[in-house]
Amino acid sequence: MHLPDGFLSKEVAGGLLGGAAFVFMYAAQHVRQKYFNARAVLKKNLALEGGFSIESSFKLSKKWKKAIQKRMLLAATMGSLVFALQMLNFPISKGTSGHFLGGLLLALVLGPFEAFVVIALVLTVQCVAFSDGGLFVLGGNVFNMGVVAAVGGFYLFRYIWNRIKKTRKNYFVLAAILAWISVVLASTFCAFEIYLSGTTDASVFSAMISYHALIGLGEAGITILVLAYMSKSSPLPFIKQAKENEK
Amino acid sequence: MKNNRTILILLLVAIIAGGLISFFASSSPDGLEKVAEEKGFITTASESHFNFIPDYELPLSNSFLAVSLAGIAGIFITFGTIYCLYRLAIR
């Protein structure tokens, strides 16, 4: 779903670029804050252990660096995994293919803001190094796959999750449904931007949605496969509650 | 640590996906391109501003290696970009 330059008008592309840049700054600040909050928590735990000294502050820095190092490696790994999976175009119907987007997967593993930052960076690498997706419409691509699919998908997921029984099965069913919805929603926004630009008529909506309804099935499958593997060894945000519930 | 192993395995999956399976990926137009063809606005697409590794293919005579190495390069570029920016932003 990578828009090339030319599909969107200057006004639409420019507006989206500005909007995406703004969200990126906000999300990056949010993520940075989260990492420093982890330091504050560690500090509190260390202070409880005993008085605060130079030795303990050294210990704190070391502990914090080790903890965030792992988290940074996870973010970079998830980014490169999404990059690689986006290369795998699968055929959906005659002469058409689709590929994984990964917005919801990233959001369910890393949280909405970090997922946004990671997917924005993946899209930037694809645009600059692989000529996939235009430079002026990068804002549009980041908006569709980052804001709509990742952040939007995450909050929709959380909204429903808070209202259903928290079991492992429900987690995966909901993740699959939301993965599908996130792709269809992203394609709807993509169609809306194209329509707003005056590139084509309103029939672009039904066309985009019908293809992406099929692509979304692939998205759902890959998303739950990766989540199922990761849930065995890594503490994923929502599934922790499900595990506690089933004890 | 279990977490480290998960990261290693996910990276390995990425390298297998990007470096091996990517060769067998469908080269048909994707959903958006297909719609653009059907509605006749594919011609409005302009050339990309960048020309490093267009279409995820390196200029090699062996088409498997061309795609495979481009995929692996992409994985490392993505990993490096994200990790380096994180390290710069948070310290």
DSSP B45: P
Asked whether residue A22 is domain-assigned, the answer is yes
Cβ neighbours, 10 Å, residue B82: 24
Q: How many domains does chain A have?
A: 1
- Read off the pTM: 0.95
pLDDT tens-digit profile, chain A (247 residues): 899 999 999 999 999 999 999 999 999 999 999 999 999 988 888 777 766 677 778 888 898 999 899 999 999 999 999 999 999 999 998 899 999 999 999 999 999 999 999 999 999 999 999 999 999 999 999 999 999 999 999 999 999 999 999 999 999 999 999 999 999 999 999 999 999 999 999 999 999 999 999 999 999 999 999 999 999 888 888 988 887 777 6
- The interface predicted TM-score of the complex, written ipTM, equals 0.96
**What tokens were used for A123?**
């899209």
DSSP B30: B
Contacts of A134 (CB under 8 A, 6+ apart): A3, A4, A5, A6, A7, A127, B45, B46, B48, B49
Asked whether residue B82 is domain-assigned, the answer is yes
**In angstroms, rounded to a whole number, what is the distance separating the alpha carbons of residues A229 and A109?**
12
CATH of the domain at A204: 1.10.1760.20
Task: End-to-end CA distance of chain B: give it in Å, rounded.
Answer: 23
**What tokens were used for A214?**
């099929």
* Domain interval for residue A49: 10-246
Cβ pair A4:B46 closer than 8 A: yes
Nearest CA in chain B to A202: B39
Interface of A with B in 187-246 (CB under 8 A): 187, 190-191, 194, 199-201, 203-204, 207-208, 211-212, 215, 226, 229-230, 233-234
* Domain interval for residue B63: 1-25+53-91
Asked whether residue B36 is domain-assigned, the answer is no
